[in-house]
Amino acid sequence: MGCNSLMLTFLPRHSCVPLLYSLPKFTNHVKELHAQLITNGIKSPSLLAKLIEHYCESPFKHVANNAHLVFRHFDKPDLFLFNTLIRCVQPEESITTFQNEFSRGAMVFNDYTYNFVLGACARSPLVSSLWLGRQLHALIVKHGIESDILVQTTKIHFYANHKDIKSARRMFDEMPERSVVTWNAMITGYCSMKEGNEDHAAAALSLFCNMLVDPSGVKPTDTTIVCVLSAASQMGIIDIGACIHGFVGKTGYSPEYDVFIGTGMVDMYAKCGCLNSALSIFWQMNVKNVLTWTAMTTGLAIHGKGRQALEIFYKMGAYGVKPNEATFASLFSACCHARLVEEGLQLFHDMKRVFGVTPQIQHYGCIVDLLGRAGQLTEAYDFALGMPISPDSVIWRSLLAACKIHGDIVMGEKVGKFLLQLKEETCPNVTSTSEDYVALSNVYASAERWNDVETIRKGMKARSVLNRTGSSSVQTVNMATL
């Protein structure tokens, strides 16, 4: 037994109380402190709740499981401890724990219980969590808890996280009272939608305008500002972004000192094409995190400023900021647009060796795209085949597009047939879409091999391959209220 463990054995009755609140210094002795609480007969719910929190913070599952033992410390289940448990454990475990306790029927739950479980359903990626969350919604209505503003806000967060934005907005519109957290949850929900993102970005900005004139007098926070800046960058309309910038100045928020607002402005101006404004704010910021640097390099990348993006990147080290996977993805994109083949390959080789970042499939895909755009099709093909990760359809499509651009019909035919075969193997029972067939058909058409084009079209018809309908949209947003 170590000295510290021996010391814990002879602790007085209440000595474990201050130790429990400074537990990070005694991480290896959580179990000893737990034993002291049991030995001394201490059944304080607040202390046991603190112990549950510490157990749940452990990265080791067998240690985290001890949180359930703390909850079972009482003969009769304690609702406060139960709520602490489902709040602190992982989302899937929180849901399962609630289901088990609900089936026993030994406790009467309160608004905190439903709020924590609904929050777990919001964070859980499992499809079943959407169904369970809807059941919880029904229970909340049944037990008359729907008037609780915190529970209502969590319902908005839950539906938005599961991409049911219409239900989230219905919850929002039905609320008689809203806090700033409620407004932020709805605006964030719109901004997080990937499909139809311009429509949802416009809805987020419209909601922000409504927030400013709401009779309750609720005021936007830094979270609100970051969300609407994201919406403006998604739409790419500089007038809207400039209005938000002006509003930020009036309300006292400073991009120089608030790293998240500053990063949002850098991202917005860069994506709206105002690189000088983005760079000006970027260099004025007193604190920059990895998201700030990545936003700047991404903005330069999408406008073809590859060398400038690399220059920015190599200054990160002097500021003590380490790049992450997203940083490298933006840099490879910059190299692709600027045709910086040697620089991109050198960066890829240094990625893990120098910076300690393991390449993911999107990074390998960027290198294939880089080589393909430069006309080095054989090198790109060999690189894809030599990947430690199986190339996905996105990688092969980018190579097929490069074959069409550079007129390499032989390589294009090989890649195109491989891509169609891959689709048949991975999704044999799913009705195919036309993009890969059309891409191969276009390769044949560029070489005027019309018989092969006809063969592809007949094959599409025989397999009931669907053509994806094109669409376009025009955004009109009234920002006069800003």
**Cα dist. 374→156, 379, 405, 421 in Å?**
47, 10, 10, 26
What pLDDT is attached to residue 310? 93
Write the pLDDT tens digit of every residue in 72-116.
777 778 899 999 999 999 999 999 999 999 998 888 899 999 999
What pLDDT is attached to residue 229? 92
Mean pLDDT of 138-159: 89
**Cβ proximity of 84 and 53 under 8 Å:** yes
Nearest to 155 by CA among 142, 177, 136: 136
Average pLDDT in the chain:
83
d(CA 280, CA 453): 51
d(CA 175, CA 187): 15
**Cβ proximity of 403 and 371 under 8 Å:** no
Q: Does the predicted TM-score (pTM) go above 0.85?
A: no
**Cα dist. 465→12, 142, 434, 442 in Å?**
76, 47, 6, 16
What pLDDT is attached to residue 340? 93
The label of the residue with tokens 């949209």 reads: 473
**Cβ proximity of 153 and 185 under 8 Å:** yes
What single letter denotes the amino acid at residue 344? G
311 has pLDDT over 80: yes
The label of the residue with tokens 């737990």 reads: 34
At 357, is the secondary structure helix, strand, or coil?
coil
d(CA 234, CA 267): 10
Count the neighbouring beta carbons within 10 Å of the beta carbon of residue 429. Answer: 4
Q: Residue 411: which residues within 8 A CB-CB, separation 6 or more? A: 377, 378, 381, 399, 403
Mean pLDDT of 445-462: 74
d(CA 469, CA 221): 40
The H helix count followed by the E strand count for the chain is 28, 0
| Structure confidence at residue 1 as a pLDDT band (50, 70, 90) | very low
CA torsion through residues 302, 304, 307, 308, sign: negative
Every domain of the chain and the residues it spans:
193-285, 288-359, 378-467
What pLDDT is attached to residue 471? 55
Task: Write the DSSP string, 23-78.
Answer: GGGGGGGHHHHHHHHHHTT---HHHHHHHHHHHHT-SSHHHHTHHHHHHTTSSSPP
Write the pLDDT tens digit of every residue in 378-392.
999 999 989 998 888
**Cβ proximity of 336 and 370 under 8 Å:** yes
What pLDDT is attached to residue 19? 45
Write the pLDDT tens digit of every residue in 360-380.
999 999 999 999 999 999 999
d(CA 76, CA 32): 24
| Residues in the chain, overall count | 482
d(CA 252, CA 257): 11
What pLDDT is attached to residue 465? 65
Write the pLDDT tens digit of every residue in 314-336.
999 888 899 999 999 999 999 99
Nearest to 108 by CA among 147, 142, 134, 78: 78
What pLDDT is attached to residue 281? 94
16 has pLDDT over 60: no
Write the pLDDT tens digit of every residue in 249-307.
888 787 788 899 999 999 999 998 899 999 999 999 999 999 999 999 999 998 989 99
What pLDDT is attached to residue 415? 82
**Cβ proximity of 26 and 36 under 8 Å:** no
Q: Residue 373: which residues within 8 A CB-CB, separation 6 or more? A: 336, 339, 402, 405
How large a percentage of the chain has pLDDT more than 90?
Answer: 45
Instruction: Give me the helices (H) in 213-237, please.
Output: 222-235
**Tokens representing 335?**
């190299």
Q: How many CA atoms lie within 13 A of 477 on its CB side?
A: 28
Three-point CA angle 211, 212, 214, nearest 5° = 60
Instruction: Give me the helices (H) in 105-148, please.
Output: 111-123, 128-142
Q: Which residues of 443-455 are buried (b: 16+ CB within 10 A; e: fewer)?
A: bbeebebeebbee
